[in-house]
């Protein structure tokens, strides 16, 4: 922490957390597991630098006491930066939301004095080497599997087994398609041992973020909900989802058909983010398996049958959908699925870099900036700032971009393969991309 505050002094600790530049509480209360067994400190951290790896039979407390986790906690207590956390630092530099600040604020708030005191004790009990004797998983985000019923163009084998099946057809018999080799369906709970190790920690969860793959087709999701309902914990747990909105029922191998509304009615605090990149035919092509009419039906059903759910939009902004975003925004805004108080949560695609909107030729970037400037100007009031910021983010990405012909050629090479494999023609529903291709041929 800063020189003015001693992290080991209880009376100063909350102020020290508030003033910190690098401290984050997550390494004490959270772990982020991936289907390929990697453990990261959170979903924002650099996934190329895991802090642990789960092996069948491991106890969760042993995972949390890996050498990397211990070293990270020592850095946090000294308010020293950790390279894995750079994305949060970068977000904070431009004055926007970061998971670090969000979780620090939630866990050290005067509104929940008992929880705050427990967290203070937890930090003070940290061992000299950074180890912990007890792990209370207050924030849960486990990516149980890459099982998914979609194969979105901006995704890949790591998050969609259907993508993996397609990828296998494109490579030779010796080529790995992910960290597990040539397996297409990945699960950290493949033998059931992970859930057995995790269940005791479900008692401590205050908030859970569910994502996939497609989380609503994962059996572990239903195990967790059932556990919290059966143990009378549902009313105290906040559920947060990112889902492709394709499922409101699930076929359980043991319990038969599960109606999600019957489960969700036990949880009064639910936030749900619809992962949608375009509406209509464009959505069907960009997110293979999408079926726009079904998605619309499900969204209206959630609004009607589960009014406690705060439903929002979380698109991935890429070369595939940048010319379709305005149409989607208009529909969502007109139908109340996004609003000034509930603006879209944008994912600005950075990888693969050949699908990033910043590589477009200047004339296309300028045209798009003019288009989004009109939307930016629709929300001029101070109370509109959060909505305004979403369009500002897109415009800044375009403004700071630089045309890259080589990357654009790579985009079309990869996209042509997808078109051929899927019997589709993206250019038919996105003619501006055809203009970009013509620009490449002429330059």
401 falls within a domain = no
Closest of 261, 276, 246, 242 to residue 308, by C-alpha:
261
Residue 352, preceding peptide bond in cis (omega within 30° of 0): yes
Longest dimension (CA), the chain: 67
Q: Note whether 132 and 157 are same-domain residues.
A: no
Q: Domain count of the chain?
A: 2
434 falls within a domain = no
Q: Note whether 166 and 245 are same-domain residues.
A: yes
pLDDT for position 112: 84
183 falls within a domain = yes
Q: Note whether 24 and 100 are same-domain residues.
A: yes
Q: Note whether 62 and 127 are same-domain residues.
A: yes
User: Using CA atoms, how far apart are residues 214 and 35, in angstroms rounded to an integer?
Assistant: 12
Q: Note whether 117 and 165 are same-domain residues.
A: no
Residue 56: give the domain boundaries.
10-138
Q: Note whether 94 and 199 are same-domain residues.
A: no
Domain of residue 265, CATH code: 3.20.20.70
Report, as ranges of residue numbers, the positions in the chain whose pLDDT lies below 70: 1-11, 110
419 falls within a domain = no
416 falls within a domain = no
Q: Note whether 294 and 242 are same-domain residues.
A: yes
Name the 3-class secondary structure at 141: coil
User: Using CA atoms, how far apart are residues 297 and 310, in angstroms rounded to an integer?
Assistant: 17
pLDDT for position 10: 58
What are phi and psi for residue 332, nearest 5 degrees? -65, -40
Tokens at 123, concatenated: 């930090």
Single residue among 103, 138, 173 that ends a domain in this structure = 138
421 falls within a domain = no
Residue 213, preceding peptide bond in cis (omega within 30° of 0): yes
Measured over the CA atoms of residue 316, residue 317, residue 320 and residue 323, the dihedral's sign is: positive
Q: Note whether 85 and 183 are same-domain residues.
A: no
pLDDT for position 178: 81
Global confidence as pTM: 0.92
Instruction: Using alpha carbons only, give the angle 178, 419, 163 rounded to the nearest 5 degrees.
Output: 25
> H helices within 191-321, ranges in order?
193-198, 219-230, 260-264, 280-286, 292-305
Single residue among 87, 104, 138 that ends a domain in this structure = 138
Q: Note whether 17 and 110 are same-domain residues.
A: yes
Q: Note whether 201 and 79 are same-domain residues.
A: no
pLDDT for position 9: 56
Contacts for 206 with CB less than 8 Å, ≥ 6 apart:
115, 138, 139, 236, 237, 238
pLDDT for position 11: 58
pLDDT for position 4: 40
432 falls within a domain = no
Angle between helices 431-442 and 405-422 in degrees, nearest 10: 130
Q: Note whether 275 and 172 are same-domain residues.
A: yes
pLDDT for position 91: 84
pLDDT for position 153: 96
Single residue among 73, 107, 138 that ends a domain in this structure = 138
382 falls within a domain = no
How many CA atoms lie within 13 Å of 90's alpha carbon, on the beta-carbon side? 8
Q: Note whether 164 and 274 are same-domain residues.
A: yes
DSSP letter string, 215-241: GGG-HHHHHHHHHHHHTT-GGG-EEEE
pLDDT for position 350: 87
């Amino acid at each position: 922490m800063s020189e003015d505050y001693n992290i080991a002094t209880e009376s100063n600790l909350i102020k020290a957390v508030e003033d910190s530049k690098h401290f984050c509480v997550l390494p004490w209360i959270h772990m982020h597991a991936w289907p390929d067994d990697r453990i990261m400190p959170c979903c924002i951290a650099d996934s190329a630098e895991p802090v642990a790896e789960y092996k069948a039979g491991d106890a969760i407390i042993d995972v949390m006491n890996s050498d990397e986790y211990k070293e990270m906690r020592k850095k946090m207590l000294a308010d020293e930066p950790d390279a894995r956390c750079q994305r949060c630092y970068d977000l904070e530099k431009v004055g926007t939301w970061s998971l670090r600040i969000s979780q620090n604020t939630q866990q050290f708030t005067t509104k929940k004095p008992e929880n705050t005191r427990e967290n203070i004790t937890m930090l003070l009990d940290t061992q000299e080497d950074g180890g912990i004797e007890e792990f209370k998983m207050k924030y849960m985000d486990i990516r149980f599997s890459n099982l998914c019923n979609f194969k979105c163009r901006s995704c890949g084998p790591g998050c969609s087994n259907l993508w993996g099946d397609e990828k296998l057809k494109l490579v030779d018999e010796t080529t790995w398609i992910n960290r597990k080799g040539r397996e297409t369906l990945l699960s950290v709970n493949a033998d059931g041992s992970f859930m057995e190790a995790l269940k005791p920690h479900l008692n401590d969860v205050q908030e859970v973020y569910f994502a996939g793959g497609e989380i609503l087709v994962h059996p572990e999701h239903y195990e967790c909900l059932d556990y919290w309902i059966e143990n009378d914990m549902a009313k105290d747990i906040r559920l947060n989802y990112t889902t492709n909105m394709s499922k409101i029922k699930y076929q359980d191998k043991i319990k038969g058909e599960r109606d999600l509304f019957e489960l969700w009615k036990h949880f009064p605090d639910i936030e749900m983010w619809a992962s949608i990149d375009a509406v209509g035919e464009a959505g069907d092509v960009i997110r293979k398996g999408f079926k726009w009419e079904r998605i619309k039906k499900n969204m209206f059903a959630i609004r009607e049958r589960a009014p406690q759910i705060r439903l929002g939009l979380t698109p991935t902004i890429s070369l595939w959908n940048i010319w379709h975003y305005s149409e989607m925004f208009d529909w969502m805004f007109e139908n109340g699925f996004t609003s000034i108080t509930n603006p879209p949560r944008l994912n600005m695609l950075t990888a693969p870099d050949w699908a990033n909107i910043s590589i477009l030729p200047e004339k296309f970037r300028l045209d798009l900036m003019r288009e989004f400037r009109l939307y930016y100007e629709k929300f001029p009031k101070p109370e509109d700032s959060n909505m305004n910021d979403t369009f500002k983010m897109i415009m800044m990405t375009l403004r700071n971009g630089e045309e890259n012909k080589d990357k654009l050629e790579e985009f079309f090479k990869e996209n042509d393969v997808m078109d051929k494999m899927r019997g589709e023609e993206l250019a038919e529903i996105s003619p501006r991309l055809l203009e970009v291709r013509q620009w490449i041929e002429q330059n």
